Chains A and B, each alone.
Chain A
Amino acid sequence: MSAKRIHTSMQIAPYVFILPFIASFLIFYLYPIISTFIMGFQQVYPGQVEFIGLQNYQKLNNPEFKVALFNSFRYTVYTIALLIPIPLFLSVLLNSGNRNMNTVYRSILYIPSLVSIVVAGTIMRLLFASSTKSIVNTLVVFFGGEARQWLLAGPSQAMILLLVLALWRWVGVNIIYFLSGLQSIPEELYEAADIDGASSFQKLKRITIPLLKPTTIFVTTISIFGGFAMFEESFILWAGKPSPNNVGLTMVGHLYNKGFQEGEMGMASAIGIILLIIVFSLSLTFLKMFGFFENEGRR
């Protein structure tokens, strides 16, 4: 076969087209995953790498890791509980009524997700600063309350702050997902329902929500990933210092502390592997629960 024929061969072309993806997958995903897996069994110091078996995993049986696990889990559950119904409801509203106004609202709701999380977190931190002159404290005092040290208070307040930040930032994105889902629902179904005299609530319950199921599954899955991967929000909110009482310590935060602040890369890798296993099994269970794979098979 001449060189020219190889170039134009239909058998080679597809591989050339997917080469960029395969290359970046191998270099930036597969290789790091494999080396993380290996490092999980090692003690990694500059110039001294030692195989230490399961010691890294054994050391993870400590209260801090459990706090991190619990916080990440809690955060994920709450964000899913908030970031599915609220955007769903808002997108249904945005899908009806005046089209021009909707575009305006949609943009307003989407803008926060364009803001870097570092900027948003810093602004949040300053808003909720513990000085009596911070904006939130000024408002609280104005309405007759008492100035508080928001970021230093207990775990529930910290979680609320993190959720406010997540809500503010991600509602717009989820609205976009739901809107595209809504627009793929055929208009005829609603017309038929109108003819049968269905109320708008019935239409929502019987048509909109069931037909949005694929979108909901997708949004929930990425929320599971997003929730467990949360790190920047709490890192920025407490200005890079350990959060008081570890209220903002997440799995990734713990990984960061171990790896980059204490220099224990091996232990950080072990945390990463556990995180991977948790997220993987959670999302697979979830997808199975909602019959994602069955559907696929039947087709």
Chain B
Amino acid sequence: MKRILLLMVLAISMVSMVFGAGSAESAKPEATKATEVSLWTFQDIHLPFYEKMAEKWNEQNPNRQIKLVGEVLPYEDMHTKLLVSLQAGTGAPDIVDIEIAKYPNFLKGDIQLAPLNDLIDPVRDNFITARLDIYSKDGKNYGLPFHVGAEVIYYNMDILNAAGVDPYKIKTWDDYMAAGKIVKAKTGKPMTTLEVTEHWSFWPLIAQQGSDLLDKDGNVILDNDINVKTLQFLKDMMNSGVAIAAPGGFHHAEEYYGFMNDGGAASIWMPMWYMNRFTDYMPDLDGKILILPMPRFTENGARSAGMGGTGTSVTLQARDLQLSKDFLMFAKGSEEGNILLWEDLGFDPPRWDVWDDPAMNAPNKFTKFFINDDIFGMLLEIKDEIMGVNIKEKLPAVIDRLKSSVMIQSLQQQNKTPYQALKEASDLSR
């Protein structure tokens, strides 16, 4: 009996081996001579963009065909895996998206990413160079940006109309607060939601006022006066009912998408790149959302800040380094690529020389979804008011503390004053 069983197992494994080998063999001729280029990203919206650019690349470069193998991994997992594989010297992909808050981690020690200067230099002047500097160290550029990341505010006009509030009249944050109270009184709904486990509600506001988490030399300035005052302002918003904690804690939570999709709050401020979260995750808001510049803090204050971002880099482990670099430059550094960044992803592209391209005014899924006719025109209007931020080595540590303690302690649980929470986090990260 046992012997028969053993024979059967053997037979099955032999058959499966034959089939396995057979399928591998038959797949070979189809793949032609294309070189495989692997890519990791943490944002599934990015992948179709790369795939489209890979198709275009293959059309234009018949002799240097690529086969793009993209993989979407969860945010923390992807950065962890990347860090470990770069440290270990094996296992990293050819091309990888690295989020801004994690980027400085990859600039420690002998940098395991390939400098892109040789490709960027000829067209450097066409870029918003501040966005290139974020992903650089000692004059070498290691990453290509996706966007400028201008902070804007998204109003749900259904709710504002019901409350009789005109968003164009909201010029300053005081106006916003006053309007919020009206909305709350008339509709019972909060004016906005605040992130309590992430930093996107706080960071743009301090950046608007010229403050930041780190100064330009990389020192922690998280607990300066402007920041304390701004956090107090957010706390006041919470306590007056104008704002509530974002369901799920942050603006990328499943709970939040559902809440907002059902018309939960009248507005939200997030960067431009958040547009595609509306189109993809909150379909019921179609035709209800108006995008405007942020309110100002002072009469002449800036109305935006460049927020967030993702630098795409080529790792030194890339199987065909030059090909990977050339493709990356084509995908994110070419004019075509930059136009597609806008058309497909709704990103404000980092190359300003495409900003007046007719394609930027053409209707697309974003102009259809949002009430604005000319989203890009609005962006051009504020382009000189987009305040920059400093991305230095201590940023990941500071941001981790904003996520884990500052926001929740000062806004939701309110067991520490804004000053105490910021001071404690600053001391920990210094």
A134 to B80, CA, bound (A): 30
A46 to B107, CA, bound (A): 10
Tell me whether A46 and B108 are in contact in the complex, defined as CB-CB below 8 angstroms, given that A245-B404, A261-B80, A262-B397 are known contacts.
yes
Inside 8 A of A46's CB, which chain B residues have their CB?
Answer: 86-87, 89, 108-112
- Of all chain A residues, the one with the shortest Cβ separation from B197 is A244
Inside 8 A of B121's CB, which chain A residues have their CB?
Answer: none
Q: Are B79 and A261 in contact (CB under 8 A)?
A: yes
A95 within 8 Å of B by Cβ?
no
B254 within 8 Å of A by Cβ?
yes
Inside 8 A of B198's CB, which chain A residues have their CB?
Answer: 241
A261 to B98, CA, bound (A): 12
Within B205-220, the residues touching A (CB, 8 Å) are: none
Q: Are B108 and A242 in contact (CB under 8 A)?
A: no
Q: Are B397 and A152 in contact (CB under 8 A)?
A: no
Within B56-86, the residues touching A (CB, 8 Å) are: 74-77, 79-80, 83-84, 86
Within A129-185, the residues touching B (CB, 8 Å) are: 129-131, 133-134, 149, 151-152, 154
Nearest Cβ in chain A — how far from B316, in angstroms? 9
- Of all chain B residues, the one with the shortest Cβ separation from A260 is B80
A47 to B258, CA, bound (A): 46
Nearest Cβ in chain A — how far from B275, in angstroms? 23
Q: Are A242 and B248 in contact (CB under 8 A)?
A: no
A211 to B76, CA, bound (A): 48
Inside 8 A of A47's CB, which chain B residues have their CB?
Answer: 109-110, 112
Q: Name B109's contact: one of A45, A151, A154 (CB within 8 Å).
A: A45
Within A104-127, the residues touching B (CB, 8 Å) are: none
B182 within 8 Å of A by Cβ?
no
Interface string of A17-48 (1 = CB under 8 A from B): 00000000000000000000000000011111
A63 within 8 Å of B by Cβ?
yes
Q: Interface residues, chain B, CB within 8 Å of chain A?
A: 74-77, 79-80, 83-84, 86-87, 89, 102, 105-106, 108-112, 196-198, 245, 247-250, 253-255, 258-259, 396-397, 400, 403-405, 408-409, 412-413, 424, 428
Q: Interface residues, chain A, CB within 8 Å of chain B?
A: 44-48, 62-64, 129-131, 133-134, 149, 151-152, 154, 240-246, 249, 257, 260-263, 265
With A129-B248, A245-B405 already in contact, 19 other A-B pairs whose C-beta atoms are closer than 8 Å: A45-B108, A46-B86, A46-B87, A46-B110, A46-B112, A47-B110, A130-B255, A131-B255, A152-B245, A152-B408, A240-B76, A243-B404, A244-B197, A245-B404, A246-B405, A260-B83, A261-B400, A262-B105, A263-B87
